[in-house]
Structure 1
């Protein structure tokens, strides 16, 4: 059975916290929609994942920071591939509009 959906539909009205929603989950890949509005990663640490992450901003704007001091500004259509164990964090998302991310985690 085929089921279609739209990444930009059913966006939450209340974004007191960032929203993480699995779209597809399998043994070697997970696809997730993330919805942010002014959210950043917790100040206490870095993401250090066992899997690779390909992430794209579908709508909005954001900045990723990496442990090596580099940053990556992203806006609609921009994507980046983050290898496993490359420490990173979300340094900024636009506080004035929703940022919708598509994240693909893979082995």
Structure 2
């Protein structure tokens, strides 16, 4: 059955931890909604994924920090506001520096194979 869903309503409580919700997927691809509420990544360690990740902030704001020892062409950090998106290549060490503390930040994230560019062409 086809159902219309609104990604900005019926938000889960993310006051104590980020909430990750799978929305759709296919072989090697995962689409998820992430709801944050003032969270940041732990100061110890970086996120380093084996897949590319495209993220978009639908509501709220956030900063993503990148490992200064690497040069993925993304700079030291990226601040994302509503409607902003960013493609994080596989293997790029990153973490969430902050998300808005006063209300939820809602993200849309698409994880896809490292051998695919953002436009779906095999490398």
**Normalising to structure 2: TM-score of the pair?**
0.82
- 1:105 paired with 2:116, answer no
Where does 1:18-97 land on structure 2 (aligned, <5 Å)? 18-68=18-68, 70-97=76-103
In the alignment, structure 1 segments of 5+ residues that lack a partner are none
Q: Which has the higher strand share?
A: 1
**Normalising to structure 1: TM-score of the pair?**
0.94
In the alignment, structure 2 segments of 5+ residues that lack a partner are 69-74, 114-123
1:66, distance to aligned residue in structure 2 (A): 0.1
User: Looking at CA atoms only, which structure, 1 or 2, has the larger radius of gyration?
Assistant: 2
4+ residue runs over 3 A deviation: none
1:43, distance to aligned residue in structure 2 (A): 1.6
| Alpha-carbon distance between aligned partners in 1 of 2:14 and 2:86, rounded to the nearest angstrom | 28
Residues matched between the structures, number: 107
